[in-house]
Amino acid sequence: MKRILLFILPILIIVSAALTIFGIIQVKYEEDKLMDDLKRKAKTVAESVELSARYALINNDLKSIKRLAESFQKRERMQGCVVYDKEGAILAITERISGWGQKDKPYVKDSFNARAARGGIEKFGDYSVYSYILPILGDDESLLGAVEVVYDTSYLFTTLAVLWKRISITLIILIVSIIGIALLIQRQIFILPVRRLTQWFTHFQKGELEKLRPFEEKGEFGKLVSEVEQVALGLRVARKAVSEKAHARIQKEEAWTEDKLRDLIHAKLGENTFIVVSNREPYMHVSNDISGTPKCVRPASGVVTAIDPILRACGGTWIAHGSGDADRKFINSKNKLGVPPEDNRYILKRVWLNKEEEDGYYYGFSNEGLWPLCHVTHTRPIFRETDWQMYKEVNQKFANSVLEELPAKNPFVFIQDYHFTLLAKMIKEKRPDVTIALFWHIPWPNPEVFAICPYQHEILDGMLSCDLIGFHVQVHCNNFLDTANRLIECRVDTEKFSVIRGSRETFVRSFPISVDGYANVKTTKAETEKIESIRHELQLQDKIVAVGVDRIDYTKGIVERILAIDRFLEKYPQYKDKFVFIQLAAPSRTHIKRYHDLIGEIDELVEKKNWKYSDGIWRPIIYLKRYFSPEEVKPYYLLADICIVSSLHDGMNLVAKEYVSSRSDSSGALMLSRFTGAARELTDAVQINPYSIEEFADAIKFTVEMPVEERLRRMQNMRKIVAENNIYRWAGNIITELTALNKNQP
């Protein structure tokens, strides 16, 4: 619209100015002409009555003089006539202008003195009139009197107003015609070709190659179009070649790397984009509290840790809630941006939620309902009908956003987590051809626990629209199959591990998630310096250091960890002044009361325990409560002799795997809750029951005193497991499984 205005506005200004100047000249000319006419008429009439008046004045014939004045009464337009004696007194006046007699008329005297006629515009009440006064002289040139004719001039202004009206109408017609013609030209030479090009691109993007028609544009636009066609052709050929080479490479038996995953995705998905959906976005723009300057952060989230390396490796589109306060400043017109910001490897599409939606869908149903329901940690789930309604609306909003991105053929969508149990169903209502996988990053409870959810039927029905559902561990798969079997009409195939509902079959598999980690990445000089500065700053020299890295969440067992450390120091006082525990804690979901209260509870507990042991400068617990970026966390992993993961219940827990992955010299020991998914793979960790403070305290002693060789052996075993089962293998397995379900795959 702006562009059209820029084009039309100068034309309109020039045309309007020209027509207005022309109008002014025309009206002025017309006014002068009418005025001249009037003057001439007034003069002629005055001169024509002069003779009769002269005669009557000489004979002092008042009757004739009055008759003369009255004869003007019936004349059209003219107001009337006045006859004066030689002193300037009125002898007779036409009745309809009798008021004119009372008016002060200095020009009468002037005309008498000069013995000359005089004409001019005068005010008469609300009117404006033209007066022409002609002195009457005797034969001896003596003044006998005068005759004055008075004309109404209002018709003159009416005539000019009509003229202005005509000019304005012409101007309006001209403006409308110019706008119309300009729009038509613009449409023909610009909008239609651009629309054809956009359509062409949409078909190309969606892979609808049969709909790509050659362009027949000429001139400069034609040249642009032909360049675009060449680029698109090049891209298509390149994609095809990449896909074929990738097919060949994935046949080789090699360890899973970023490159191998990229090959697999190119081979399996061909020219299609990989679409991922999650609530949490991988890159978030937030404003600095003080300066207001926006910066990009990577949220503390298992989903982000796991999925970001995959999309970095193979590109694609990640659709997520734009939750950063500065997020809107960094998107294009389609709410997209290239990420990571410094090295655009894939597309992040942000979906906007208002406060009401975020409260109901995220804080309410997802995190006060489903989260405690699935993590059996004795925090009561809260189900509100309003939250559920909002959850459904937001799922629909995301479904619409996904639908906009789907290619024409073989679309694949990879949904993350409990925020989107209804999404697959909503997508398939519009596009039944989409192959959809859902990965559930948290535990799945047993049927008795799940059965308390008032919306169990809709949730299961929504999830069973997926082709594949993944959990971290087999026990969660079993729980899900049991739940479906008991709570919804379906058939569970225990051979194939699938659920058949109506005509649809959903496969259920365990895919233990992992990290790309810091494996094979040597500690840099900057990191070594950072470690030393932390040691110095936190007075860690000669201390046994343990670390915990968590979001502040009641499922993470932070309170239990502090109680166990307290008990360890009570029971084994020889470690006083020797053992330090550092907790990195990122505040999370703080608008939920349970989380808000937990922050207060931990603050108080840390303070209490540090006070209990306060003696000199040693503090057993260093509590660093803020968000730490992955780069900031790494030095803590590297300096810690022990990493403590004490979740009360956890789908997998990637902190455990990150710690193992960071220890490239195979030093360090991991204490791991047996209620995490990771405990099933990392069997060389010191496994703990965080609910048993006594056992936990003893396990700390056991870990602290573990002989070096044993630590080394355990860490080497765990590193091997994490290296082999890395995030690329996880994604590779899911994609292989998913594409095997799709009959139209390339």
Using CB under 6 A, list all residues that contact ligand F6P: 279-280, 301-303, 417, 441-442, 551, 588-589
Nearer Cβ to ligand F6P, position 92 or 415? Answer: 415
Helical H runs in 127-218? 154-186, 192-206
Pairing, β 127-137 against β 294-297 = unpaired
Q: Which two tokens stand for residue 21?
A: 């100047």
Distance (Å, whole) CA 16 – CA 379: 74
**Which amino acid belongs to residue 202?**
T
Query: How many Cβ atoms from other residues are within 10 Å of residue 700's Cβ?
Result: 27
Least separation in angstroms between CB 389 and ligand F6P? 20
Task: Report whether 681 contacts 642 (CB < 8 A).
Answer: no
Nearer Cβ to ligand F6P, position 149 or 277? Answer: 277
Nearer Cβ to ligand F6P, position 78 or 655? Answer: 655
Least separation in angstroms between CB 651 and ligand F6P? 6
Nearer Cβ to ligand F6P, position 602 or 697? Answer: 602
Distance (Å, whole) CA 75 – CA 622: 111
Surface-to-core class of residue 177, CB atoms within 10 Å of its CB (0-12 exposed, 13-18 middle, 19+ buried): exposed
The full DSSP string for 311-359 is HHHH--EEEEE--STTGGGG--TTSEEEESTTS--EEEEEE---HHHII
Least separation in angstroms between CB 418 and ligand F6P? 7
Distance (Å, whole) CA 582 – CA 472: 28
Nearer Cβ to ligand F6P, position 442 or 727? Answer: 442
Q: Which residue's structure tokens are 């793979």? A: 681
Nearer Cβ to ligand F6P, position 53 or 558? Answer: 558
In three-state secondary structure terms, 736 is: helix
Least separation in angstroms between CB 599 and ligand F6P? 14
Least separation in angstroms between CB 363 and ligand F6P? 9
Nearer Cβ to ligand F6P, position 153 or 725? Answer: 725
Least separation in angstroms between CB 257 and ligand F6P? 24
Of 656, 654, 627, nearest to 640 by C-alpha is 656
What dihedral angle (degrees, nearest 10) is formed by the CA atoms of 693, 695, 698, 704? -90
Nearer Cβ to ligand F6P, position 280 or 312? Answer: 280
Least separation in angstroms between CB 326 and ligand F6P? 18
Least separation in angstroms between CB 341 and ligand F6P? 20
Least separation in angstroms between CB 364 and ligand F6P? 13
Of 91, 88, 96, 95, nearest to 61 by C-alpha is 91
Nearer Cβ to ligand F6P, position 193 or 651? Answer: 651
Residue 124 pairs in a beta bridge with 127
Query: How many Cβ atoms from other residues are within 10 Å of residue 115's Cβ?
Result: 12
In three-state secondary structure terms, 147 is: strand
Least separation in angstroms between CB 649 and ligand F6P? 12
Nearer Cβ to ligand F6P, position 349 or 441? Answer: 441
Distance (Å, whole) CA 486 – CA 455: 15
Distance (Å, whole) CA 401 – CA 404: 5
Nearer Cβ to ligand F6P, position 439 or 575? Answer: 439
Nearer Cβ to ligand F6P, position 262 or 472? Answer: 472
Least separation in angstroms between CB 551 and ligand F6P? 6
Strand arrangement, sheet containing 669-673: 621-625, 579-586, 544-551, 642-645, 669-673, 686-688
Least separation in angstroms between CB 696 and ligand F6P? 23
Least separation in angstroms between CB 676 and ligand F6P? 12
How is the chain split among helix, strand and coil, in percent rounded to 5? 55, 20, 30
**CA-derived radius of gyration, the chain:** 46
Peptide bond into 340 cis (omega under 30): yes
Distance (Å, whole) CA 273 – CA 207: 10
Nearer Cβ to ligand F6P, position 657 or 714? Answer: 657
DSSP 419: G
